[in-house]
Structure 1
Amino acid sequence: MISTWSEWKRYPRPGRGENLEAPISPGIYEVRYAATGALHSFGAVDNVAQALASLPVGAKSWFGRRDKAELPELEYRTCATSTKADAKVVAERMVGRREAYMSGAA
């Protein structure tokens, strides 16, 4: 079974005390730059919450800390599925639609 996409939410930034709101189940996630809507990352995974929490979202400084000034404003949304196989099917359809759109727009 495939559920619907969540609303876009602001991706938590270090030091703000914010939390991710994502399913601990198979599904798809999409992360975009808030200012432009450009795609940052996308995936079909076994655990959506874990995948979002482990995304590299900024550059690290020389001392291993993330430079807060360089962290982009990101937004994310999720779509839970019953299995990873379902997530892959939905992801492939989305990629196909994007490719068709981009080839028509070029």
Structure 2
Amino acid sequence: MISKWSEWKRYPRAGKGENIEAPISPGIYEVRFAGTGALHSFGAVDNVAQALALLPVASKSWFGRGEPARLPELEYRTCATSTKAAAKAAAERMIGRRETYMSGAA
């Protein structure tokens, strides 16, 4: 069973004490660049909160003595499912719809 998508939320910024609000269950996540809406990350996982927390969204600056480089503004949304198999099936349907849309738009 698949629930509905959450609202878009700002991805927590490192060092600001912000938290990820996501289910600790199987599901799908989508991360996008806030300014353009371009896709950053997408996945079907066993634990949505953990997957979002482990995403490599920060990078080290070569010139900043190990301080984080300026990060893009990201947003994320989540969709809980009852199992990882249901999450994978829903993700595959979404990918199929996107491919169909893009092939018609080209």
Matching residue's letter, 1:92: E
Q: Secondary structure at the match of 2:59?
A: coil
Q: Which runs of 4+ in 1 moved over 4 A?
A: none
What percent of counterpart residues are identical? 82
**TM-score of the superposed pair, with normalisation by structure 2:** 0.94
Deviation at 1:15, TM superposition (A): 1.7
Q: Is the 8 A contact 1:26 1:83 kept in 2?
A: yes
Equivalent pairs counted in the alignment come to: 104
- Give the match for residue 73 of structure 2: 73
**TM-score of the superposed pair, with normalisation by structure 1:** 0.94
Deviation at 1:33, TM superposition (A): 0.2
Distance 1:14 1:48 in 2: 19
Q: CA RMSD in A?
A: 1.0
Deviation at 1:64, TM superposition (A): 4.1
Q: Secondary structure at the match of 1:6?
A: coil
Q: Secondary structure at the match of 1:85?
A: helix
- Give the match for residue 25 of structure 2: 25
Deviation per CA, 1:7-57: give whole Å up to 9, x if none: 000000012111000000000000000000000000000000000000011
